[in-house]
Amino acid sequence: MRSFLRARALAISAVVNSGLPAKTTARLSTWIALGYWPRLHHPRSFNEKILHRKFFEHDPRMPDLIDKVRVKEFVASRLGSDWIIPTYFAGRTLPPREERDWPLPFVIKPNHLSGPVIFIRRREDIDWHSIESQAERWMRTPPHGIRFSEWGYTQIEPQILIEQYVGREAAAPLDYKFYGFRGKVEYLYVGKDRESVPKFVFYNTKWEQLPSRFRYESTRERIPRPSTLQEMVRAAELLSADWPFVRVDLYEFEGRPKFGELTFYPGAGLDPLSPREFDFILGESWVI
């Protein structure tokens, strides 16, 4: 399976770097990833509608909500400041080393990319030479959206974000990712083991496990229902109320829900869902 995934990733990368027109590149990548030719116009499935959003939905509000720094102000205004993970620093370059006195544990991430993060749980994790090199690479990296035609990312001014770490020392926190459609949430999935082999489990809002899964990266493991599930559902509904679709990513930390980020292009529209019908069930909820 891993060799298949590597081959699939290489094929998508070859298409993305081919120099073909953006729409052709996006449709070919989607076909490789999902196994069906996507409808860019009159989309029906969830992933087709992500593809449609890339080219036809350039809402000027979107970049500030994708930006991992700026979105916190919006969420605090909607949910309250207690939902916000404290920011220790945000800027284009790291401050002088003698000023980096942030309390442990913390995380370091770019505000304009999807995925990269450095976990600093204990003092032994701090290697400033390596961290500085990585941060410089992040700032030189073109916005995430350029390669995958995700317009919202291309409008963000890159920064390095340092914020409190909200997981256990030995493992990254569980990610609770809610599908919000105009303020209605019916489905979510839980992500775990993000530092090793990521696993995902789908649930409805009654915490009934669903047979749906990402085709290649799922587990049937049962995950305990979070104590703040209903609070998180209400928050996801509130934060998604203004949008045909947005995924609301949350955590639970020390018995309290915390905001993670808003995701407008999940998986770049390249995550195959199984059974395939679930891709279309989600798509029915997204009214364009």
pLDDT in tens, 39-72: 999 999 999 999 999 999 999 999 999 999 999 9
- Note down the domain range covering 93: 85-164
Say which range, 57-61, 150-154, 165-169, 207-211, has the weakest mean pLDDT.
165-169
Query: Does any domain span residue 193?
Result: no
pLDDT for the residue numbered 221: 81
Query: Cis omega before residue 275 (within 30°)?
Result: yes
Query: Does any domain span residue 112?
Result: yes
pLDDT for the residue numbered 145: 78
Query: Does any domain span residue 72?
Result: no
Task: In whole angstroms, give the CA distance from residue 106 to residue 22.
Answer: 37
Query: Does any domain span residue 126?
Result: yes
Query: Does any domain span residue 117?
Result: yes
Q: How confident is the model at residue 222 (pLDDT cuts 50, 70, 90)?
A: confident
What tokens does 252 get? 């639970």
Whether this model's pTM surpasses 0.85 = yes
Query: Does any domain span residue 259?
Result: no
pLDDT for the residue numbered 216: 56
What tokens does 199 get? 């696993």
Task: In whole angstroms, give the CA distance from residue 141 to residue 77.
Answer: 31
Does residue 215 surpass a pLDDT of 90?
A: no
Higher pLDDT, 144 or 152: 152
Residue owning tokens 């493991």: 221
Does residue 6 surpass a pLDDT of 60?
A: no
Does residue 174 surpass a pLDDT of 80?
A: yes
Q: How many domains does the chain have?
A: 1
C-beta separation of 247 from 13 below 8 A: no
pLDDT for the residue numbered 1: 47
Q: How confident is the model at residue 147 (pLDDT cuts 50, 70, 90)?
A: confident
Q: 178-206 pLDDT, tens per residue?
A: 999 999 999 999 998 777 777 899 999 99
Query: Does any domain span residue 246?
Result: no
Q: 241-283 pLDDT, tens per residue?
A: 999 999 999 999 999 999 999 999 999 999 999 999 999 999 9
Query: Does any domain span residue 133?
Result: yes
pLDDT for the residue numbered 11: 59
- Alpha-carbon distance values, 204 to 116, 261, 267 (Å): 28, 20, 20
